[in-house]
Amino acid sequence: MKEGIPGDLIKYPRTGHSITFVDQITIYEKVLKAIERAYHASWVRGEQRRNYDDLILRPQHSSPPACCQKANLLNTLNFVDAYKVLGYNESLYGDFLSVLRNDPHLVARCLVLGEAQNQEAMHTAAHTIFASVYANGLLPEDETHILNLLKHLIELQLATSENPRRQLRHGSCAFSQIYRAYVEMLPQSKVFLTAALHQPIIQLLMEDELFLDIDPSKAAVRFPPEERLRRFGEEGTPEYAAALGKYRAWTISKLVKITNRFLESIKEAMNCFPWSLSWLVRILYEVLLSAKVTEMREVSAICVDLIFGLFLCPALVTPEPHGICDAPISHISRFNLMQVAQILQVLAMSRWETPDPRLNDLYSQFDKEVVASLLDNIVEQEGSESPPCLVGYNNPLLGLERSSFLCPETHLTSLISFIQTVLPEFPEDDESRKEWETLLGRIKPPPPALQPSNISPTTANSNTTSPSVTPSKKNLLGRVKSNRNRSSKSQCEGDGDSVKSGEDTVSITTNSSNGGITHSGSATGLGNNTEEGDVVPPILEYDRVLVISLRGGGSCDCPGLMAEEKVLFTLQVEFTT
């Protein structure tokens, strides 16, 4: 040892290196735990979103008490390692889900064949595939699989349909189910919708609370008889006609002003339009033109429906679920939003369809090419036939790998049953059929806990209240339900015309998958036949979610132990993007 150099100082570099390595391992474990919690929260968020959609878009299948109960149950779910439930069969179930995940074409074939057999079973299977197999498109690799699945559904379903536009607008086909779930969970879509719609919606809410009817025959009907007499005078007189015409001119000027505000905001936000949706619209356009199942005008109309009817206009009419606006929206403002949505859809189709001649005084004040040019910009973009998710996109999640599937027990059982049902529809000499029969033949029958009929006492006993819904909340839920019934009845009596008009003007698809939900009756049974103060029985079929290992997953390297080639490749990717 050299004189003047303390012994501790010589040992410090080696000790410091050891401490740093231990810290790396500790940090790595903390990061893994944080990612695991985020993954679980993402899955629960997707289920909460579907629970909300059932209440808002499918009230005949839900009610406020049922929605509150299900939300509480979803927040208390346990995530259990699958080997504790499935035993050695866990690897077989993991192989089954891994094959599904890596073969979108096979998934598309199963969904199309299953829809022809049992549409409700197809909806449940589509929900499980999107939420569990593809993890709601959380990671870029899963998003790529979803886009490939949608492309194959276009080729197998829409391109072979006699009327693809009607099938798409109906909203119950496999493509519509997956597409709607995808755009609802896509982060880039929320950025675009907020940038395009937030400001004009807020400005509309600040306007006068009057119905802005597109249909001139309904302008005066909106007012009570006394108010109508005060505003327009005696019906049938020249003064009445003049006052009504003046009001019609005022209504048109307001609609034109508001709609132009939306158009300008949408044009300014087009640079935020999700690139994956642009790719999907372009693929849809090219595939349908190549298939020659319909004329070019109809193909363009289908692309318009995909952008406006299934994406932009539903968010415009109901901005709350998309996080666009958190301000309360009255039924009058909601109706006016519906009118704006209808105008946008008509303008988008004005190049191929002539608007109603009775409404020329309205549509003649717009530039017919404004909205149609937006579609041209999307369709004419250059791009490859492969989804661009993993190429040239600076995604902070790029490089992350998923190591497991999250799937409730009942969903897993129903998905296997669905695949077994559609397999006989495959040709006998199909290699995929032989492979799947071999794979499914190795899977042992699920244990009793996996049978849908064997629900845990917490969720199966309809005579007891869920642990998440205490007796103190019971009367509150009953009052919420009762108030909802009274308000719904009042709205139907007072504003039934406006609600009906809104439904006739906007193409908002409301069919959603019902995987994991037990319907306890019709709308009447849920809303009116239950005594006040009673709580609807729990409607969640499971109280735990299985964490099933993904075959080949979890191969991430610990920090400090990554191979040199992988480090250089990662740096190269970051540099090029």
Higher pLDDT, 421 or 429: 421
pLDDT value, residue 505: 36
pLDDT of residue 65: 87
pLDDT in tens, 318-329: 898 888 988 889
- CA-to-CA distance for 61 and 45, rounded, in angstroms? 20
The answer on pLDDT for 140 being more than 90 is no
The pairing of beta strand 544-549 with beta strand 404-408: antiparallel
The mean pLDDT of the chain is 77
pLDDT in tens, 518-553: 333 333 333 344 444 444 444 788 889 999 998 765
Q: Which pLDDT value is given to residue 405? A: 93
What string of DSSP letters covers 335-398?
HHHHHHHHHHHHHHHTTTSPPPGGGHHHHTTS-THHHHHHHHHHHT----SS-GGGSS---TTT
- As a whole number of angstroms, the distance between CA 553 and CA 405 comes to 10
Q: What is the mean pLDDT of residues 442-451?
A: 62
251 sits in which H/E element: helix 238-268
Query: Considering only CA atoms, which of 209, 497, 193, 199 is closest in space to residue 330?
Result: 209
Q: What value does the mean pLDDT take over residues 371-392?
A: 73
pLDDT in tens, 206-253: 887 788 988 877 878 888 888 888 888 888 888 888 888 888 899 999
How far apart CA 566 and CA 556 sit, in angstroms, is: 11
Task: Tell me the C-alpha distance between 517 and 48, whole Å.
Answer: 12
Q: Concatenated DSSP letters for 304-333?
A: HIIIIIIIIHHHHH--GGGTS--S---HHH
Give the pLDDT band of residue 570 (cuts 50, 70, 90).
low
* Per-residue buried b or exposed e for 295-307, using 16+ beta carbons within 10 Å of the residue's own CB: eeeebbbbbbbbb
Q: What is the pLDDT of residue 197?
A: 95
For residue 477, the SS3 value is helix
Q: Which two tokens stand for residue 230?
A: 């005060």
Check residue 528 and give its pLDDT.
Answer: 40
Can you give the pTM of this predicted structure? 0.77
**pLDDT band, residue 81 (cuts 50/70/90):** very high
CB contact set of 308 (below 8 Å; sequence gap of 6+): 341, 344, 345, 348
Q: What are phi and psi of 545, to 5 degrees?
A: -120, 130
pLDDT of residue 552: 61
Q: Spell out the residues 6+ positions from residue 101 whose beta carbon is closer than 8 angstroms to its own.
A: 133, 134, 142, 145, 550
Number of continuous H segments (helices) and E segments (strands) in the chain: 24, 3
Q: Which of 460, 452, 456 is nearest to 417 (CA)?
A: 452
Residue with the bigger pLDDT between 226 and 126: it is 126
Contacts of 313 (CB under 8 A, 6+ apart): 341, 344, 345, 506, 507, 508
Residue linked to tokens 């404004």: 370
CA 51/CA 329 separation, integer angstroms: 21
Q: How confident is the model at residue 573 (pLDDT cuts 50, 70, 90)?
A: low
Which residue type is seen at 178? I
Contact 404, 547 (CB under 8 A): yes
Mean pLDDT for 258-285 is: 92
At 394 the pLDDT is 56
Is the pLDDT at 88 greater than 50, yes or no?
yes
Residue 33 has pLDDT above 50, yes or no: yes
Enter the tokens of residue 387. Answer: 């989804």
The pLDDT, as a whole number, for residue 380 is 79
Does pLDDT of 377 surpass 90?
no
- Where is pLDDT greater, at 179 or 470? 179
pLDDT value of position 258: 94
Taking the CB of residue 339, how many other CB atoms lie within 10 A of it?
A: 24
User: What does the pLDDT read at residue 238?
Assistant: 87
pLDDT at res. 491: 41
Residue identified by tokens 């740096």 is 571
Identify the pLDDT of residue 462. Answer: 35
Give pLDDT tens digits for 468-514: 444 443 344 444 444 444 444 444 344 434 333 333 333 333 333 33
Residue whose entry in the numeric block shows the structure tokens 């290196």: 17
Phi, psi angles (nearest 5°) of residue 165: -65, -45
Q: Distance (Å, rounded) from C-alpha 481 to C-alpha 327?
A: 23
Q: How far, CA to CA in Å, does 217 sit from each of 204, 258, 358, 505?
A: 23, 21, 10, 15
pLDDT (tens digit per residue) in 283-334: 999 999 998 888 888 999 999 999 998 999 999 998 988 889 888 899 999 9
Backbone angles phi, psi at 81, to 5 degrees: -60, 130
